[in-house]
Structure 1
Amino acid sequence: MQIIRYSFFGTKELFGSAPSSLLWLRYSSFLVMYPTGISSEVGLIYIALQFIKASEKYCIRMPNKWNYSFDYFYASILVLLVYVPGSPHMYTYMLGQRKKALAKSKTA
């Protein structure tokens, strides 16, 4: 996705505009890549939860000199709780950006 994005911006900077095919690719590739990326990230975090809990890696327990506690297991669950409902918002935002960009290219 970054290759497409940077090719688009690089071409736009060098030549003042990008070809319509690159514009379409820039604003359409997320249609496949977002669901794939989101589902794999959520799936991997979910699979890793049992190992995170068992290892207690990256956990800080009290008492300590900072009087602070952190549990990576619960932080991972929090990420999942934000990620899952936040994903449709990100996706619909990108659909709106795509609609604006492709509509703008047709009028230009």
Structure 2
Amino acid sequence: MESRKTASVSTRYLIAYNALSAALWAGVLGRTVLLLPLVGPTHIHESLGDYTKWVQTLAILEIFHIAFGLLRSSLPTTILQVASRLLLVWGVCDRFSAPQQSNAYTSMLIAWSITEVCRYTYYVINLSGGSGGVLNWLRYNTFFILYPLGAGSEAWCIFRALPEVYAKNETYYWVLVAILATYGPGLYNQYTHMIRQRRKNMRGKKRA
């Protein structure tokens, strides 16, 4: 009985966390789409930079969810994914003007926010006992476009920042160059992983 009660509390917490995250990322998406025709892509960071970096920072909790056993997922992979996003919002786009004024910043937000709205909403429905429906299809199909768009935008933001970084801190410059070199293999691994997950998910649907 006690374990069932604990599980229920954990499930309610995870539903609340995922619902909040979905709403916050929907805010990023909605504000980006609304502001884009008004201010243009080179000024999106001025309006959304602070909001986005704090929304992304909330994802640190997902590391603790896995560490404390609330979720079953790869801890190293989650740490890497969260850290790479934090590097972009805090260590690159927040500190240097070139990526802030790049079209890639806007395309990065669009790719991230659509992905996260689908992902977190899917988790809410799944944890609530639903089947996902359209969201299940979106989760396992939109990555074909959104992953390359997101990774390409991230890499371009880092690339655009490099001249400014070099002028301020040569060591940090070489750190970012090394990180930039991992984007190709990293995208390939992430992309093929999602393709395998999609096949597994689609097989399950066909059997049902």
- TM-score bracket, normalised by the shorter chain, equals 0.7 to 0.9
* Residue 50 (structure 1) aligned with residue 50 (structure 2): no
Q: Which residue of structure 2 lines up, in the alignment, with residue 27 of structure 1?
A: 140
Q: Which residue of structure 2 lines up, in the alignment, with residue 74 of structure 1?
A: 174
71-80 or 81-90: bigger deviation: 81-90
Q: CA deviation at 1:102?
A: 1.6
Structure 2 residue matching 1:54: 3-state secondary structure: helix
Which of the pair has more CA radius of gyration?
A: 1
TM-score (norm 2): 0.43
Q: Which residue of structure 2 lines up, in the alignment, with residue 11 of structure 1?
A: 125
Q: CA deviation at 1:44?
A: 1.1
The AA in structure 1 aligned to 2:195 is L
Structure 1 vs Structure 2: percent identity of aligned residues?
Answer: 33
Consecutive unaligned residues in structure 2, runs of 5 or more = 1-114
Consecutive unaligned residues in structure 1, runs of 5 or more = 60-70
85-94 or 33-42: bigger deviation: 85-94
The AA in structure 1 aligned to 2:180 is L
Q: CA deviation at 1:19?
A: 3.6
Kept in 2, the 8 Å contact 1:34–1:91? The answer is yes
- For 1:85 and 1:27, the matched residues in 2 are separated by 21
4+ residue segments displaced more than 3 Å: none
The AA in structure 2 aligned to 1:26 is R
Report how many aligned residue pairs link the two structures: 94
Q: Which residue of structure 1 lines up, in the alignment, with residue 151 of structure 2?
A: 38
Kept in 2, the 8 Å contact 1:24–1:102? The answer is no
Higher helix share: 2
